[in-house]
């Protein structure tokens, strides 16, 4: 699931990849995408200055609580609603960005000089079949939090493992931009 929006000088993009073992992961992924977009927009200033451990704990607690509500509603284990998450929010008025990344996706950007860079690498590497999900115990210690100036960033891409595993090469990434 993906979620993109622009409001109040903030541009937000979220990509959530459900685990694929049941059709309930679609419900979990949709909820996680919307919840993550709301979280990163509303807490942007706090994310920019807070300790990463506090951010990870707060964010994953909020996601876990929403997933738990779905698990109770459907009378299913919470793990059936699990996903990986990549999210970016750029505040144009402050020329700053923050990103949250859990799991095996990749966040890349293209600088205004044409250089393509990785903002956040896959948590377990390009070819691993195991990754950290929203329901994984200890996920807060694996959440990657990136933040900084958006001054030289021209474009940003969020990619699931399905894209970069096909051909993890510079040519593949150049085609994205």
Between CA 7 and CA 5 the distance in angstroms is: 7
Which among 77, 71, 74, 1 has a CA at the least distance from the CA of 36? 1
User: Is the pTM here over 0.95, yes or no?
Assistant: no
Residue 170 CA to chain centroid, in angstroms? 22
Distance, first Cα to last Cα, the chain: 20
49 contacts: CB under 8 Å, gap ≥ 6: none
118, β-bridge pairs: 108
What are the residues facing 39 on neighbouring strands?
Answer: none
Task: List, in sequence order, the alpha helices (H) in 43-121.
Answer: 44-49, 52-74
What are the b/e assignments for 39-69, b being 16+ CB within 10 Å? Answer: bbbebbeebbeeeeeebbebbbeebbebbee
Sheet holding 116-120, edge to edge: 116-120, 106-111, 153-159
pLDDT per residue as tens, the chain (177 positions): 888 999 989 999 999 988 766 788 888 899 999 999 999 999 999 999 999 999 999 999 999 999 999 999 999 999 999 999 999 999 999 999 999 999 988 999 999 998 989 999 887 644 556 788 999 999 999 999 999 999 999 999 998 876 555 455 555 556 555
């Amino acid at each position: 699931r993906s979620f993109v929006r622009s409001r109040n000088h903030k541009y937000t993009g979220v990509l959530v990849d459900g685990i694929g073992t049941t059709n309930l992961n679609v419900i979990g992924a949709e909820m996680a995408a919307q919840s993550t977009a709301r979280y990163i927009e509303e807490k942007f200033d706090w994310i920019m200055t807070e300790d990463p451990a506090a951010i990870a704990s707060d964010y994953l607690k909020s996601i876990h609580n929403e997933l738990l509500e779905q698990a109770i509603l459907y009378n299913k284990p919470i793990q059936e609603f699990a996903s990986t998450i990549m999210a970016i929010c750029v505040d144009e008025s402050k020329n700053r960005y923050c990103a949250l990344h859990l799991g095996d996706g990749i966040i890349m950007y293209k600088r205004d000089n044409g250089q393509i860079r990785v903002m956040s690498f896959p948590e377990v590497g390009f070819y691993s079949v195991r990754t950290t999900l929203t329901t994984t115990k200890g996920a807060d210690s694996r959440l990657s939090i990136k933040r900084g100036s958006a001054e030289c960033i021209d474009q940003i891409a969020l990619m699931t493992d399905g894209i970069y595993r096909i051909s993890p090469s510079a040519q593949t990434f150049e085609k994205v931009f």
